[in-house]
């Protein structure tokens, strides 16, 4: 069983990016630009188990959608969960090569400025509140769009799985079929 104590934040260098994304958030006056340099950095969480082959370490990458559709996970989800080996293989859609440059976990925990720590705490609070309100507000199971007027999976009465459109419901079926109440008989 893996716990948080086995987690490391690991930085990769993205070589030969195949995608270039520009994201603008006017309300925060933020512009994010990815895939335009040869040595772009990308960080993920890796759960390390001693004695286990590193290619089987578990990777969690919650920021894959910055690379557009090529960043989708194994089942089309907007994140990646899987082994390090699968992660490196999937990154071939995003770049020519992704190489580990080092672990960042100690620096992130002990260092950082006050503004970053406050921003991370505010983000964690927002995520927690969104999770607590999931029954009444919900979000699209495919893209994450929040809203009260989302469509529900017809079979999932207990889980309240929701979608913002039929297309997202169809795309999400690759992954949702494993947990859909329709298939649990």
**Residue from 139, 133, 103, 129 nearest 7 by CA:** 103
CB atoms within 10 A of CB 91: 24
8-state DSSP, 140: B
Nearest CA-CA partner of 138 in 153, 125, 124, 123: 153
Q: How many CA atoms lie within 13 A of 114 on its CB side?
A: 0
User: What does the pLDDT profile of the chain (185 residues) look like in tens digits?
Assistant: 444 456 777 888 888 877 776 666 666 666 666 666 777 888 888 887 778 888 888 888 888 777 777 777 777 777 888 888 989 998 888 888 888 887 654 444 434 567 666 766 676 677 667 767 767 777 888 887 777 788 888 888 767 788 989 999 998 888 888 888 887 75
pTM exceeding the 0.75 threshold for the entire prediction: no
Question: According to DSSP H, which parts of the chain are helical?
Answer: 84-90, 105-110, 114-132, 166-176
Token pair of 183, please? Answer: 């298939």
User: Which tokens hold the place of 6?
Assistant: 């086995």
Angstrom distance (rounded) from CA 7 to CA 126: 22
Q: What angle do CA 76, 79, 80 make, to 5 degrees?
A: 90
DSSP state of 61: E
In the prediction, which pLDDT does 6 show? 63
The alpha carbon dihedral of 62, 68, 71, 76 has a sign of positive
Residues 38/19, Cβ–Cβ less than 8 Å: no
């Amino acid at each position: 069983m893996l716990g948080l104590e086995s987690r490391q934040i690991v930085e990769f260098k993205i070589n030969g990016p195949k995608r270039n994304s520009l994201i603008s958030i006017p309300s925060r006056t933020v512009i994010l630009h990815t895939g335009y340099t040869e040595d772009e950095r990308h960080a993920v969480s890796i759960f390390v188990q001693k004695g286990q082959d590193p290619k089987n370490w578990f990777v969690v990458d919650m920021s894959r959608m910055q690379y557009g559709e090529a960043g989708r996970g194994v089942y089309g989800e907007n994140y990646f969960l899987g082994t390090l080996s699968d992660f490196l293989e999937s990154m071939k859609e995003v770049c020519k090569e992704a190489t580990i440059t080092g672990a960042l976990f100690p620096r992130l925990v002990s260092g950082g400025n006050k503004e970053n720590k406050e921003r991370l705490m505010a983000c964690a609070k927002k995520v927690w509140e969104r999770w607590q309100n999931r029954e009444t507000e919900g979000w699209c199971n495919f893209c994450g769009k929040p809203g009260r007027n989302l469509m529900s999976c017809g079979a999932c009465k207990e889980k309240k799985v929701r979608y913002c459109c039929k297309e997202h419901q169809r795309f999400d079926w690759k992954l949702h079929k494993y947990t859909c109440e329709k298939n649990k008989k």
